Structure 1
Amino acid sequence: MSVIELKDVSVTFHEGGRTVEAVRNVSLNVDKGEIFGIVGFSGAGKSTLVRTINLLERPTGGRVVIDGMDITGLKGADLRALRKKIGFIFQGFNLITNVTVGKNIEFALKAGGCPKAQWRERIRELLALVGLENKIDSYPSSLSGGQKQRVSIARALANKPEILLCDEATSALDLETTEGILALLQRINSELGITIVFITHQLDVAKRIFDRVAVMENGVVVEQGATFDVFSTPKHATTKALVERYLGIAVPPQLVPSLPAGTIVELRYKGSTALEPIISQVAQDYGVSINVLHANVEYFGSQAIGILIVLVTGAGEPLVQALHRLKTHVFGYRELDRGMLSVAAEAGQGTETAGNEEA
């Protein structure tokens, strides 16, 4: 069941005598209780799009539907009531620096119409949820970046929203702190049943928590689907670029002159086959030598995507058969031109041959 529906949503700005189409005819659905991601490079239109969901950015075209109700034209009290159902977490925390952590959350409770008698108990409940029970009287300046984001999350949850929007909520944090924030958001999603829409340019975030994902470029959604499906077999150039930036590996150019004769091949696996001993099997069956030059395996949820660059050494028909066997047992296969390997390593180019799409 869809809790959020964007139907041909567009957002156009007029700046300095020119027209900027920040979002162009975007349609997508977010199901109740899922964590939905929107990814893309800077300037893709992600932030503008997510702000249409609570009308912080009003669409210039199309419709926004929440729980089956068209909210696109809401104003005044109706709009304020809608926003109580939708929490927002900002990249820069947006905390009021000259009041305590407790007061920051109190402002949200007051704005949401929560009875004053319930404020203290609700603040303590929220801080316990985010692991900051002892920070109620602390000021934001005394907190780490991760603690500030936890306060921001507590504030966003103050009025028991059904939807939580996260605008690059971890991009200002280090890796360890990001892991903690993502685990907290997963727990909030699981225990409270809150639907989360999270925008990011970080595939580390996408692989960790997204159920489904949409990829944006130049204001358009160019690809969407289950997270593993989108990133294991990217179709659009932007998605491929995101994956290459995250997963791409290459033979260090300085090693090329010292490599023995043979065929250099990049192999890509997905799913359970990422762990199959295909390399040793092929070497044994065809009497060729296969040396792993570089490797990387990443998990999207419980499913793996693996990349290997190998040097296959052999001659005649056994070599041809060995390469064919490799090609038909992976979903991505390309032979790298030794003379152009340094260029290919930097530009992601090579002589690509379509492999078997079923891993």
Structure 2
Amino acid sequence: MSVIELRDVSVTFHERRQTIEAVKHVSLTVEKGEIFGIVGFSGAGKSTLVRVINLLQRPTSGRLLLDGADITDAKGSQLRDIRKRIGFIFQGFNLISNVTVGRNVQFALKAGGWEKSDWDRRTRELLRLVGLENKIDTYPSSLSGGQKQRVAIARALANKPEILLCDEATSALDLETTEEILDLLQRINRELGITIVFITHQLDVAKQVFDRVAVMENGSVVELGDTFDVFSAPKHATTRSLVERYLGIAVPPQLVPSLPAGQIVELRYKGDAALEPLISEVAKRHGVSINVLHANVSYFGPHAIGILIVLVSGGDAAVNAALDELKSHVFGFRKLDRTALAQIHDADGADNEDGTDADDAGNENRGEKETNA
């Protein structure tokens, strides 16, 4: 069942005689109880879109439905009731610095209409949920970034929302703290049944927690689907760029001149195939040598995506037969031109005639020949 539905939503701003289309004709649904992600680079329109969901940003056109009811034009008490159902976690925590952790949570309870006699009980209950019950009388200035975000999560949950919106909720945190916050949000989603909409530019966040994902670019949703399906076989250039930034690998340039004769190829696996001993089996079967030059395997939930760069050496016929078999077992197969790779190494640090950096020029076109299996 869809708890959130956006129908052809657009948001347009007018600034300094300019028209800015921040969101363009977005239609999507978020299912009850899922963790739905919105990813994209800075300026893609992610934050504007997520603020439409609790009407902090009114759509210029299109409709917003909550549990099947059109709430686009909600005002007054109806709007206040809607916002009680939707918690919001900000990137910058937004805590009040001159009051205690407990009072920060109680401000949300007061705004939500809780009886004052219930404030202490509910505050302790929320802080216990996020692992900070012993910080109730502490001021935010003495907390770590992760602890501040836990207080923000407790505050967002104060009024027992059905939906939790997270706007870059981990981008200000270090890696270890990010893992802890994501684990906490997954537990909240699982134990409380709260639907979470999370926006981020960090693919490591997306791969760990999102059930489904929308990729945004220039105000539009360019890809939408199950997280593993979207990132294992990206179709749009923006999605491919996100994946390459996270998973992309390259032959170490300093190795190229000393490599023996043979064909360098990049192989991409997905799902269970990433775990199969394919390389050794193909080498044995065709009597070739297959050396792994670089490798990366990453998991999106329980599913693996593997990238290998290998050097296949041997007789021409045997190498071609081995490459054909490798190609038939992977979803991505790309031959790499060693002459182009060597030229990148030779020109490393030098400027091209047109003034561009040699590394940038090499990244743009490394002489690669690509074939999708």
Cα displacement (A) at 1:76 = 1.1
Match of 1:94 in 2: 94
Cα displacement (A) at 1:317 = 1.6
Asked if the contact 1:253/1:345 (under 8 Å) is kept, the reply is no
* Pairing of 1:83-122 with structure 2 (within 5 A): 83-122=83-122
Cα displacement (A) at 1:340 = 1.5
Cα displacement (A) at 1:348 = 6.9
2:337 corresponds to 1:319: no
Match of 1:353 in 2: 371
Query: 1:27 & 1:107 partners in 2: Cα distance?
Result: 35
Q: Secondary structure at the match of 1:251?
A: coil
- Which deviations, in whole Å up to 9, do the C-alpha atoms of 1:58-111 show, x marking residues without a partner? 000100100111111011111011000000000000000000000000000000
Query: 1:181 & 1:93 partners in 2: Cα distance?
Result: 13
Query: 1:306 & 1:142 partners in 2: Cα distance?
Result: 42
Q: Secondary structure at the match of 2:8?
A: strand
Match of 1:283 in 2: 283
Partner AA of 1:352 in structure 2: E
Cα displacement (A) at 1:190 = 0.2
Q: Secondary structure at the match of 1:250?
A: coil
Partner AA of 2:228 in structure 1: F
Partner AA of 2:301 in structure 1: G
Match of 1:29 in 2: 29
After TM superposition, the score normalised by the length of structure 2 is: 0.94
Partner AA of 2:149 in structure 1: Q
Cα displacement (A) at 1:345 = 6.7
- Structure 1 residues not aligned, in runs of 5+: none
Cα displacement (A) at 1:163 = 0.1
Asked if the contact 1:264/1:309 (under 8 Å) is kept, the reply is yes
Q: Secondary structure at the match of 1:268?
A: strand
Asked if the contact 1:251/1:345 (under 8 Å) is kept, the reply is no
Q: Secondary structure at the match of 1:58?
A: coil
Cα displacement (A) at 1:224 = 0.5
Cα displacement (A) at 1:42 = 0.4
Percent identity reads 76
Cα displacement (A) at 1:347 = 3.4
Query: 2:20 & 2:165 partners in 1: Cα distance?
Result: 24
Match of 1:123 in 2: 123
Asked if the contact 1:249/1:295 (under 8 Å) is kept, the reply is yes
Match of 1:213 in 2: 213
Partner AA of 1:215 in structure 2: V
Query: 2:114 & 2:131 partners in 1: Cα distance?
Result: 22
Q: Secondary structure at the match of 2:296?
A: strand
Structure 1 residues 348 and 106 mapped into 2: Cα distance closer, same or farther (>3 Å)? farther
Match of 2:252 in 1: 252
Match of 2:198 in 1: 198
Asked if the contact 1:91/1:172 (under 8 Å) is kept, the reply is yes
* Pairing of 1:63-102 with structure 2 (within 5 A): 63-102=63-102
Query: 1:226 & 1:180 partners in 2: Cα distance?
Result: 24
Match of 1:6 in 2: 6
Asked if the contact 1:271/1:305 (under 8 Å) is kept, the reply is yes
Query: 2:115 & 2:23 partners in 1: Cα distance?
Result: 39
Q: Secondary structure at the match of 1:172?
A: coil
Match of 2:349 in 1: none
Match of 2:332 in 1: 332
Query: 2:364 & 2:174 partners in 1: Cα distance?
Result: 28
Match of 1:310 in 2: 310
Match of 2:165 in 1: 165
Q: Secondary structure at the match of 1:49?
A: helix
Q: Secondary structure at the match of 1:137?
A: coil
Cα displacement (A) at 1:47 = 0.2
Q: Secondary structure at the match of 1:11?
A: strand
Structure 1 residues 345 and 170 mapped into 2: Cα distance closer, same or farther (>3 Å)? farther
Asked if the contact 1:108/1:159 (under 8 Å) is kept, the reply is yes
- Structure 2 residues not aligned, in runs of 5+: 345-358
Query: 2:4 & 2:16 partners in 1: Cα distance?
Result: 33
Query: 1:164 & 1:345 partners in 2: Cα distance?
Result: 43
- The range that moved more, 54-63 or 251-260, is 251-260
Partner AA of 1:318 in structure 2: A
Match of 2:350 in 1: none
Asked if the contact 1:336/1:351 (under 8 Å) is kept, the reply is yes
Match of 1:243 in 2: 243
Partner AA of 1:6 in structure 2: L
